A and B are shown apart, each in its own frame.
Chain A
Amino acid sequence: GQQLNQSPQSMFIQEGEDVSMNCTSSSIFNTWLWYKQDPGEGPVLLIALYKAGELTSNGRLTAQFGITRKDSFLNISASIPSDVGIYFCAGQPYNTGNQFYFGTGTSLTVIP
């Protein structure tokens, strides 16, 4: 299956700092989704991206669909304690139509 490389694997930041994480694929994708997962819960959709170069915001979150269509970025500004969790990227290769492949996640810890 497809490999999605998500980095960093974990982050420890002070409250108020900005956060950046990214996801890269070995092939071209036509959709990128970003999710947040809390312990014991299912992933919650944060942002959906459908066009190369697209930049979309959801409150303090901003995500971009890379121009090469092989990567995506998620930024969180002015982090707060409730941002703690695991963030996953999910991408859909343009030539499959069915599956979304998930990255291995970025674990975010916010220190008050």
Chain B
Amino acid sequence: NAGVMQNPRHLVRRRGQEARLRCSPMKGHSHVYWYRQLPEEGLKFMVYLQKENIIDESGMPKERFSAEFPKEGPSILRIQQVVRGDSAAYFCASSPRQVATNEKLFFGSGTQLSVL
């Protein structure tokens, strides 16, 4: 049973380019969460999605960032016109159903985004 798969593992972009980060949840999981981690810090919640729906995007910056989880295919975190401050590790987590019902988050290995 494959775990949460994220790709790419490393992504280098120049300022102003777009970054697309992909996440395939564990088999049978329909809920995806995106977190961001800066060096020496904990994980900061960004967005929670179910298939085709954004449930909670309270942690997402209002501009340049967007996320989707289509009916088919992986969840995508998209960062437009990247700036140096976007450099961080981005982690995706999945759970089989809504976390409010005492579930657990299972994390992928992350995508390290470096903006030059």
- Mark A residues whose CB is within 8 Å of B: 1, 4, 6, 30-31, 33, 35, 40-45, 48, 50, 88, 90, 92, 97-105
* A48-B104 contact in complex given A43-B91, A105-B42, C-beta closer than 8 Å: yes
> Is B105's CB under 8 angstroms from A42's CB?
no
Q: How far is the CA of A6 from the CA of B35 in the complex (A)?
A: 18
Q: How many CB-defined contacts (below 8 Å) exist between A and B?
A: 66
In the complex, chain B residues whose CB is within 8 Å of the CB of A35 = 107
Cross-interface CB contact of B59 among A30, A99, A103, A104, cutoff 8 Å: A99
- The smallest C-beta distance from B44 to any residue of chain A, in angstroms, reads 7
By size class, the interface of chain B is 20 to 34
Cross-interface CB contact of A100 among B6, B55, B58, B99, cutoff 8 Å: B99
> Is B109's CB under 8 angstroms from A103's CB?
no
In the complex, chain A residues whose CB is within 8 Å of the CB of B48 = 98-99
In the complex, chain A residues whose CB is within 8 Å of the CB of B102 = 30-31, 50
* A100-B45 contact in complex given A33-B104, A45-B104, A48-B104, C-beta closer than 8 Å: yes
- The smallest C-beta distance from B108 to any residue of chain A, in angstroms, reads 5
Cross-interface CB contact of B41 among A30, A99, A100, A104, cutoff 8 Å: A104
- The smallest C-beta distance from A41 to any residue of chain B, in angstroms, reads 6
For the complex of A and B, list the 10 residue pairs with the smallest distance between their C-beta atoms, beginning with the closest: A42-B107, A97-B100, A102-B42, A98-B56, A102-B43, A99-B45, A104-B42, A50-B102, A42-B109, A43-B107
> Is A88's CB under 8 angstroms from B100's CB?
no
Cross-interface CB contact of A45 among B35, B105, B109, B112, cutoff 8 Å: B105
Interface check B66, CB cutoff 8 A: no
- The smallest C-beta distance from A51 to any residue of chain B, in angstroms, reads 9
* A42, closest chain B residue (CB): B107
